[in-house]
């Protein structure tokens, strides 16, 4: 895997790359027939959450563009289809729509919010602006406790977020639930396997929403819940061997979760055909290089080549303060170093390296719009999707591109990776360069490494590492007045950043207890020469980002 954010820093959406067949399997690898659920995304902010809920229930989910033709939908042999919510009005010009032949597939379909409205309209219903818009929690009265609402209370809460609603449906529909302002809060068709709910069962604010989704999957779609990570691993290994053959595969190992799991998976699949390259760019955490070497070369016996390019990277960054320019320079230098390493490896082997492995994840694919172009797609050009410079000349292998982050961790457990790697917090590809605000220089990096090490030691000691999702120190380009002993100081300020998140698309600052923050601050100020003030970042994402640069 090319380390995190490196290729994104190239900022070149027109870059092309060769794709190995493994990129977009029609039948998902390691998924039994009849265990796939398709989700058509009409722009819902909860689309990824629906996909996660389906997978948590034991089925495999795939997000697709809402206008995917029925012929392509059929190739997945889906057990069911979910039509997501969305911000549009069904009646407005240009509103996203699905293939009107979708009901010809004969598989159960669940419409959520906008998806319910569109499905009902296609089946002859009428959609109108609601007399009283519903935003937030509403009391739902369940009229039919069989099927979709099996085992649920007759009075429960549901999370609403709609301005339009279904006003009229024909005699072919059955009303399943209502609220005080929405008489058709849930419906089903009597002869076509279509179900619609005006509320959002995927969010935690709907307390019995997961039960409703499980009823849809197990009672209506008939899934067996047979999707297991061990099956995925074995099937993906088989697919990798089929694609790679006798060729060599190059993997850029960063020591993070994604690249580590990719390396372990490839090593299991093809053994000595895998060559890993770790680039020491001089911007790493304290003892990072030694950690990676010990773990992968000594423990896993992987062919690991370490390239020391610290001087080249730091020379490039001399005098540079603009964050985007930092990322661009680091990205270009990384590509040069990686190309040189690949050439050197090829010169000492009999085989040409055909493939480059990357740790692209499913959210990367969704956000970048590659292989998926839903109404909410194309949020950003992601570092691992579509940014590989063509001159590298490799075919890509992205064996994790169907997985969410938590699923990657599960795969790591199945592969036998130690907890210390599986649960590592993310680390940016440009490394400490984007946590050392202003000009990057070795003395400042040394200070930042020591601060970061103390911070993580205290977080681990307080048993908070697993309950937080990313924790790090930032060296600010300001100095402040302080007093140490009887003397005045004028030294650096360090900011502490700790966040909690499920998907890193949004995040909230972690409520670390004051006594632990006090210990962190006292240790940094007392043990790290050159720092006399520590501050705590209490910004959420959005509006702030997780990293400072």
As a whole number of angstroms, the longest Cα–Cα distance in the chain is 87
Q: Considering only CA atoms, which of 524, 533, 410, 522 is closest in space to residue 479?
A: 533
Query: Rg of the Cα trace of the chain?
Result: 26
Spatial distance between the Cα atoms of 111 and 186, rounded to a whole number of angstroms: 10
Catalytic position from the list 4, 98, 113, 276: 113
How far lies 187's CA from each of 99, 178, 199, in Å?
Answer: 21, 9, 12
Query: In 10 A of CB 226, how many CB atoms?
Result: 14
Catalytic residue of the set 202, 398, 458, 491: 202
Are 247 and 273 within 8 A, CB to CB? Answer: yes
Residue indicated by tokens 């549009």: 88
Task: Give strand pairing partners of 472.
Answer: 497
Is 202 one of the annotated active-site residues of the chain? yes
Alpha helices in 428-492 (DSSP H): 442-461
What torsion do the CA atoms of 525, 527, 531, 536 make, to the nearest 10 degrees? -50
How far, in Å, CA of 78 to CA of 97, rounded? 19
**Phi–psi pair at 97, nearest 5 degrees:** -135, 160
d(C-alpha 101, C-alpha 38), whole Å: 15
- Catalytic-role residue among 98, 182, 189, 200: 200
Residue 237 is among the residues annotated as catalytic for this protein: no
Please say if 267 is a catalytic residue: no
- 430: Cα within 13 Å, side-chain hemisphere: 27
> Helices then strands (H, E): number in the chain?
15, 19
Tell me which residue has tokens 């563009």. Answer: 65
**Any idea which residues carry the catalytic annotation?**
113, 200, 202
């Amino acid at each position: 895997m090319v380390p995190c954010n490196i290729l994104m820093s190239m900022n070149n959406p027109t870059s092309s790359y060769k794709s190995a067949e493994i990129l977009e399997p029609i039948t998902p690898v390691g998924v039994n027939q009849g265990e796939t659920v398709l989700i058509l995304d009409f722009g819902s902010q909860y689309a990824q959450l629906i996909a996660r809920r389906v997978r948590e229930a034991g089925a495999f989910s795939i997000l697709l563009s809402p206008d995917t033709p029925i012929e392509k939908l059929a190739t997945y042999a889906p057990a069911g289809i979910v039509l997501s919510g969305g911000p549009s009005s069904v009646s407005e010009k240009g509103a996203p729509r699905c293939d009107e032949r979708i009901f010809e597939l004969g598989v159960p379909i669940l419409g959520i919010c906008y998806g319910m409205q569109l499905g009902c309209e296609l089946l002859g219903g009428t959609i109108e602006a609601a007399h009283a818009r519903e935003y937030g929690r509403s009391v739902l009265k369940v009229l039919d406790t069989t099927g979709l609402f099996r085992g649920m209370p007759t009075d429960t809460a549901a999370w609403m977020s709609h301005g339009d609603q279904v006003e009229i449906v024909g005699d072919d529909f059955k009303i399943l639930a209502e609220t005080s302002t929405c008489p058709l809060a849930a419906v089903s068709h009597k002869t076509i396997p279509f179900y619609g709910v005006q509320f959002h069962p995927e969010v935690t604010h709907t307390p019995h929403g997961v039960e409703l989704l499980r009823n849809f999957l197990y009672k209506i779609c008939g899934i067996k819940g047979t999707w297991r990570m061990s099956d995925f691993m074995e099937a993906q290994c088989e697919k990798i061997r089929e694609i790679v053959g006798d060729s060599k595969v190059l993997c850029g190992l960063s020591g993070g979760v994604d690249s580590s799991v990719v390396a372990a998976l490839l090593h299991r699949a093809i053994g000595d055909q895998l060559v890993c390259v770790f680039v020491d760019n001089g911007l790493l955490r304290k003892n990072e290089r030694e950690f990676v070497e010990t773990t992968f070369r000594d423990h896993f016996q992987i062919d690991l080549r370490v390239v020391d390019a610290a001087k080249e990277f730091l020379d490039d960054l001399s005098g540079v303060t603009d964050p985007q320019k930092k990322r661009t320079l680091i990205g270009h230098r990384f590509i040069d170093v990686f190309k040189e390493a690949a050439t050197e490896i090829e010169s000492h082997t009999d085989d040409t390296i055909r493939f480059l492995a990357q740790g692209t994840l499913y959210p990367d694919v969704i956000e970048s719009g590659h292989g998926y172009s839903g109404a909410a797609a194309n949020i950003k050009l992601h570092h691992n999707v579509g940014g590989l410079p063509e001159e590298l000349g490799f075919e890509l292998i992205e064996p994790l591109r169907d997985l969410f982050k938590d699923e990657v961790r599960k795969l790591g457990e199945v592969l036998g990776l130690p907890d210390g790697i599986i649960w590592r917090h993310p680390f940016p590809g440009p490394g400490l360069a984007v946590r050392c605000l202003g000009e990057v220089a070795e003395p400042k990096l040394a200070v930042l490494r020591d601060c970061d090490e103390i911070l993580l030691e205290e977080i681990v000691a307080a048993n908070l590492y697993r309950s937080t999702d990313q924790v790090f120190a930032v060296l600010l380009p300001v100095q402040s007045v302080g007093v140490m002993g009887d003397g005045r100081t004028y030294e650096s300020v360090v900011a502490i950043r700790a966040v909690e998140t499920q998907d890193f698309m949004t995040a909230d600052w972690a409520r670390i207890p004051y006594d632990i923050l006090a210990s962190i601050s006292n240790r940094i100020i007392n043990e790290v020469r050159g720092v006399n003030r520590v501050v705590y970042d209490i910004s959420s994402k959005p509006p702030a980002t997780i990293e400072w640069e």
